[in-house]
């Protein structure tokens, strides 16, 4: 029985594989993409309950740009996003101007890599149980 | 060719000349009074007092002018301030000539004072201008003594001091004038040569300094790049190890658990080091803070809840006290939170079981003073001066905890000093360490109280 569908977008296959195991063990259905193009493809095939997004992929802000794109899409607007980045990186991209502006940076949570399995699970459960925006 | 000094210091020098002139005016008045009243030297005292009065007014005017320039906050252009300096020096030559005229002319040994003016000109102005000043001095002095000798100008003898026939002796006048001119030109030549050399050295040093700073930046960018890459790999390694060590891929026997555990611990501490280096390097590369108003009270509460777990595990009592009137302060919240956490975690790390760690936050004028005292292993006296050095770890710290980056305090110092605060270490009288740092409550340029 699936606890929910999760899409992980990260260019490091070792990270996505490890996360898939952690989340798979907890009963989540996990799909993986390694850049935003693949991510877009996956979104055509599935409607995730949660998206886990890396920031630096082919460009240093690909993840942020993709998150914005997702939130501009009618269908996926309500899907919570967990961003894999440290607080410092987050500041580096003008987080302040985004703080009060959901449409600019529509991200519900941040975690710095490497994410400990128990922390990841806790965060995911947290995001999936909170009422949708 | 440029003068030795840059325009900021030229302004300072112009003001310095004005101050010197106040002294000179005083000395002129007192010397005139002394010479005429007590030494029975006859001189044109009234004329000299008049000269002093004129110079007084002239200097007052100059002071007003420069004062207006410096108060305006706008830096006058180098050409403009250079012009003022040249004018001042020329006027001083005229003034000195006038003073000599009324006090014996060629008989007065104060004619040596022209030398000072040549030195000042050679330090402050370019070489050609200094030669022109020397020429002006020779013309003024020469004109004076020649015209006095020829009887065109009246001669005010220093009766009672020098032979008052000398000024009419053509050989003496021309000889003195010749030596006078040679001396002035030589002074200008020597002084400008030295100041030229100094200026070249100064320029070379400045250039070297700029190059060093550029190289340091390149180095930091390199370190940032490398650490970032390493961090990515380590994160992947640790994610895989987490799965194995956490037995998510199946149970392990004891020996497997042992060695995976070791790999996990080493990777974790390596990652901590890389993380600290990344943080420090990133901070060195970002030019300035992005300060905001934030609640220090909340930040301290966050840090305490984080550190409390660690303290409880070791049976350390963690106490804290914060002045009731402290809340909103100015600064970069994330960095300050990191810094407080760093220092508190250090205290917990180096304090043995059952010890005490105490945090106090008090107001100290325009600053908050954050103090972390522990009953831990302390810092040996020999290590104190090196405590804030990159990669340095005291011997006893190394012996107590194998893992440590030697970067935590460097980071803390960077953060605190960037905010305009100070950080220092003291021995805890009862044994242990006390780290204290200050942070400004409000923005340096902001006069309105925070929170209003």
Judged by CB atoms closer than 8 Å, whether chains meet at B243 and A87 is answered as no
Find the CB nearest B282 among A22, A88, A96.
Answer: A88
C-alpha B382: how far from chain center: 28
Gap between the Cα atoms of A88 and B445, Å rounded: 25
CB A12 within 8 A of CB B236: yes
Task: Tell me the domain boundaries of chain B.
Answer: 7-212, 292-440
DSSP conformation letters of chain A:
--S-EEEEE-S-HHHHHHHHHHHHHTT-EEEEESSHHHHHHHHHH---SEEEEES-SSSTTHHHHHHHHHHHSGGGTT--EEEE--HHHHHHTTHHHHHT-TTTS--SEEEPSSPPHHHHHHHHHHHHHSPP-
- Calculate the CA dihedral of residues B102, B103, B107, B112 and round it to 10 degrees: -100
The CATH code of domain A5-128 reads 3.40.50.2300
Task: Identify the pLDDT of residue B1.
Answer: 40
- Residue B406 three-state SS: coil
Strand partners, A7: A31, A51
Considering only A105-109, B2-6, B284-288, which range has the smallest mean pLDDT? B2-6
Gap between the Cα atoms of B5 and B195, Å rounded: 9
Q: Spell out which residues of chain B touch residue A18, defining contact as CB-CB under 8 Å.
A: 236, 239-240, 242-243
Query: Which residues, in sequence order, are CB contacts of B95 under 8 Å at separation 6+?
Result: B51, B55
Q: Encoding tokens for residue B226?
A: 């490398």
User: CA neighbours within 13 Å on the CB side: how many for B97?
Assistant: 20
Question: Tens digits of per-residue pLDDT, B156-214?
Answer: 887 777 777 888 888 999 999 999 999 999 999 999 999 889 989 999 999 999 999 99
Q: Spell out which residues of chain A touch residue B232, defining contact as CB-CB under 8 Å.
A: 12, 113
Q: Spell out which residues of chain A touch residue B243, defining contact as CB-CB under 8 Å.
A: 18, 21-22, 117
Find the CB nearest B248 among A15, A22, A116.
Answer: A22
Find the CB nearest B248 among A14, A25, A91.
Answer: A25
Quick one: closest CA in B to A85, which residue? B232
- Residue B7 three-state SS: helix
Residue bearing the bigger pLDDT, A99 or B391: B391
Residue bearing the bigger pLDDT, B12 or B219: B219
Gap between the Cα atoms of B403 and B87, Å rounded: 68
B contact test, residue of A15, A16, A18 with most B CBs within 10 A: A18
Find the CB nearest A18 among B232, B239, B271.
Answer: B239
Residue bearing the bigger pLDDT, B232 or B289: B232
Query: Interface of chain A against chain B, CB under 8 Å?
Result: 12, 14-15, 18-19, 21-22, 25, 87-88, 91, 96, 113-117
Task: Identify the pLDDT of residue B118.
Answer: 94
As a whole number, the mean pLDDT across chain A is 81
Query: Which residues, in sequence order, are CB contacts of B397 under 8 Å at separation 6+?
Result: B350, B377, B379, B404
ipTM exceeding cut-off 0.90 for this assembly = no
Which CATH topology does B292-440 take?
Answer: Heat Shock Protein 90 (3.30.565)
Gap between the Cα atoms of B48 and B112, Å rounded: 18
Quick one: closest CA in A to B282, which residue? A88
Q: Encoding tokens for residue B253?
A: 């026997």
Query: Which residues, in sequence order, are CB contacts of B340 under 8 Å at separation 6+?
Result: B299, B300, B303, B359, B370
CB B81 within 8 A of CB B7: yes
């Amino acid at each position: 029985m699936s606890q929910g569908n999760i899409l992980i977008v990260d260019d490091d296959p070792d990270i996505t594989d490890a996360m898939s195991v952690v989340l798979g063990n907890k009963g989540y259905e996990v799909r993986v993409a390694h850049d935003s193009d693949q991510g877009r493809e996956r979104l055509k095939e599935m409607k995730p309950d949660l998206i886990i997004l890396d920031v630096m992929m082919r460009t240093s802000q690909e993840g942020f740009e993709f998150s914005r794109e997702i939130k501009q899409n009618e269908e996926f607007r309500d899907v919570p996003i967990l961003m894999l980045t440290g607080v410092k990186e987050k500041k580096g991209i003008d987080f302040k101007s985004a703080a009060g502006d959901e449409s600019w940076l529509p991200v519900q949570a941040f975690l710095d890599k490497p994410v400990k399995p128990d922390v990841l699970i806790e965060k995911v459960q947290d995001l999936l149980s909170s009422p949708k925006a | 060719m440029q003068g030795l000094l840059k325009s900021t210091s030229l302004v300072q020098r112009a003001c310095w000349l004005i101050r010197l002139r106040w002294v000179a005016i005083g000395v002129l008045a007192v010397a005139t009074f002394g010479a005429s009243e007590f030494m029975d030297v006859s001189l044109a005292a009234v004329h000299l007092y008049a000269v002093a009065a004129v110079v007084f007014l002239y200097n007052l005017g100059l002071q007003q002018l420069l004062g207006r320039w410096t108060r305006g906050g706008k830096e006058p252009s180098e050409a403009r301030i250079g012009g003022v300096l040249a004018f001042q020096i020329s006027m001083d030559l005229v003034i000195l000539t006038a003073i000599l005229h009324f006090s014996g002319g060629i008989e007065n040994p104060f004619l040596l004072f022209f030398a000072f003016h040549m030195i000042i000109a050679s330090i402050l102005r370019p070489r050609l201008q200094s030669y022109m000043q020397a020429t002006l001095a020779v013309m003024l002095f020469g004109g004076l003594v020649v015209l006095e000798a020829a009887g065109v100008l009246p001669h005010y003898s220093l009766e009672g001091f020098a032979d008052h026939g000398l000024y009419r002796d053509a050989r003496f006048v021309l000889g003195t004038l010749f030596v006078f001119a040679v001396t002035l030109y030589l002074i200008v030549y020597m002084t400008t040569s030295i100041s030229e050399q100094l200026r070249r050295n100064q320029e070379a040093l400045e250039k070297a300094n700029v190059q060093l700073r550029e190289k340091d930046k390149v180095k930091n960018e390199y370190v940032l790049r490398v650490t970032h890459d390493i961090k990515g790999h380590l994160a992947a390694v640790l994610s895989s190890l987490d799965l194995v060590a956490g037995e998510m891929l199946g149970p392990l026997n004891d020996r497997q658990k042992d060695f995976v555990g070791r790999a996990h611990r080493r990777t974790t501490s390596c990652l901590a080091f890389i993380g600290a280096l990344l943080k420090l390097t990133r901070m060195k590369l970002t030019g300035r803070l992005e300060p905001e108003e934030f609640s220090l009270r909340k930040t301290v509460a966050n840090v305490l809840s984080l550190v409390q777990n660690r303290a409880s595990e070791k049976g350390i009592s963690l106490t804290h006290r914060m002045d009731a009137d402290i809340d909103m302060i100015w600064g970069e919240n994330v960095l300050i939170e990191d810094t407080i956490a760093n220092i508190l975690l250090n205290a917990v790390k180096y304090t043995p079981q059952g010890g005490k760690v105490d945090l106090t936050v008090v107001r100290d004028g325009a600053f908050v003073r954050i103090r972390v005292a522990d009953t831990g292993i302390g810092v040996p006296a020999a290590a104190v001066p090196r405590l804030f050095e990159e990669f340095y770890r005291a011997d006893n710290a190394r012996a107590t905890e194998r893992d440590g980056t030697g970067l935590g305090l460097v980071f803390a110092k960077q953060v605190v000093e960037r905010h305009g605060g100070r950080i220092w270490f003291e021995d805890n009288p009862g044994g242990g360490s006390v780290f204290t740092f200050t942070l400004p409550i409000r923005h340096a340029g902001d006069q309105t109280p925070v929170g209003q």
